[in-house]
Amino acid sequence: MAKPLLILDPHFRTAKELLSTKTVSALEGLCRIEGGEDRPMEPDRLDALLDRAEFLIAARPALSRAQVGRAPRLKAITEVSGAFHDQRD
């Protein structure tokens, strides 16, 4: 059975700031991780992954209604910025 897809987009932070090595190892045991680079994920790459993604972990998740509509498997969007800002649902 294939592992569920997790999209990791830590930018504006670094992945190491947000997730310990132990946490990344645990996630890799459970999921196939795409992303995790310490730069913004290209919008085209994100769009290409959405139809298969089950989880999105991002410093600043910003999915449009249309993108969410193209993500039928998406179960959780987790913001991990560690900052307070005025984004509203």
Model pLDDT, residue 86: 61
Contact predicate 55/9, CB 8 Å: no
Model pLDDT, residue 75: 97
On whether residue 85 sits in a domain, the answer given is no
Q: At 63, which CATH number?
A: 3.40.50.720
Residue 25: its H or E element: helix 21-30
pLDDT in tens, 41-54: 899 999 999 999 99
Total count of domains within the chain: 1
Model pLDDT, residue 89: 54
* Percent over 90 (pLDDT), the chain: 51
Say whether pLDDT at 77 is over 70: yes
On whether residue 86 sits in a domain, the answer given is no
Phi, psi dihedrals of residue 15, rounded to the nearest 5°: -60, -40
Residue 56: closest CA among 1, 4, 3: 4
State the residue for tokens 């992303």: 35
Distance CA 52, CA 20 (A): 25
Model pLDDT, residue 88: 58
Other beta carbons less than 10 A from residue 20's beta carbon = 9
